[in-house]
Structure 1
Amino acid sequence: MTYGRRSRQLGGLRHWTVAAVCAVAVTAACSDDGDGDGDKSSADTTSSATTATAPPSTPAPTPPPRVTPGNLLTAEGAQRVVTALREATGTAKVAFLEIDGSTASALVPLASEPGRQAFFAYADGVFRRTGDSGATVEPDDRLIDLDTIAWHRIPQLVDEAQKLNVPNANRSFVLVSPEHHPTGFRVCVKSAEKRGCLKVEADGTSAVPEYGLDEPSPGGR
């Protein structure tokens, strides 16, 4: 009898121990799952906060393009001059225009001030007003529309002008001066003592040589 009672007591103890161990294991597993979810939730929250508070990247501003003067005694260079003059004055009709390798000057009637003319100088890609002529514009004063000139002929005419009989020529330039040549333009070379020009019609034909000293140009150039 003693042995049987003892066996039943040990059996009950084993059942209680196994149940307790299972309960502890389940509790630990639940605790682990809860901690894992908590860690993941905390990490997600931190990541979201970091993403939300990060300032957006701002691209660096693009600097404005720099104007390269280049050689104005080309078809493209002369067209840049005409375009810049129209932008500055509202017209391509001039009483005088002179273009050399890197600069230009013009005498232009002012549409905004009828009866007056103003001098404009070209530099860094734009024309700027530099003064008034002081002369009254008459209705019959001659003007030339720069849009009618065959600018594509300029490079070839410059090469031809450099072959004129002007020793020690050190400057080439284009003149549009309707007072002296009302139907076209001239391409010239110049030394300290002499100037030679090709007198050209607006369409680029009839390049006739002429020689002489400079006649006074508007603005004293």
Structure 2
Amino acid sequence: MRNTSYTSTQIIAKEGWNQIVFVFMVFLFSYALSFLPWIFFLIFGGTLYSYRNPERLQEEDDAHCIVAPIDGIITDISKIGLRDGSEALRIVIRKSFWDVGVLRSPLAMEVVDIKKRFGLFLASSSPLFSQLSDRKTLTCKSAFASIKMVISAGLWSQKITLFSKLGSFKSGERLGFLRDGEVALLLPLDTRVKVSLNDEVKAGMSILGYLAYKDNDVK
């Protein structure tokens, strides 16, 4: 099933249009009343900046390549146990309010299942964030492996937006929007990681690593 997203290449993501119009109207009102218009203009500029939607080009053209799904900082690279008894490699990217909020597909894949956990909008630095945050977990299949993408909303997020519930995505294709929070990728243990803790990454462009080549893969 092919993904049919409702937003693609707008300079400003649709998710911010209502807020931008509202803040702009407040600015015009403050300007008409000569009531601190420069403050409201800065707020308008900051809101506009937080919903920017730039075009991105992947650094490499390799089907095994995993690109960053969101802008931010690498805060964790570790091996974890899953509920089914298996293990996975987890890479966590923490996004700030000022990073680009567009979520992108980390590789060519199909989203086969989405689970929603209703929770609170907490600061991603909070010790309760992983247990109580609002979250969506995407189960995805590529030609080489199955992965999970765990999207957790932070303090400044109003919701986690996905453009299509299920479907196939190209590597780096826009698939949603997250204003604040973090994204964790759960990958096979034999994934070759190319990033380190505290590295800054860009969605759809920065390479996180490579899925392992198997004997029947074409290199």
TM-score w.r.t. length of structure 1: 0.22
Higher strand share: 2
TM-score w.r.t. length of structure 2: 0.22
Higher helix share: 1
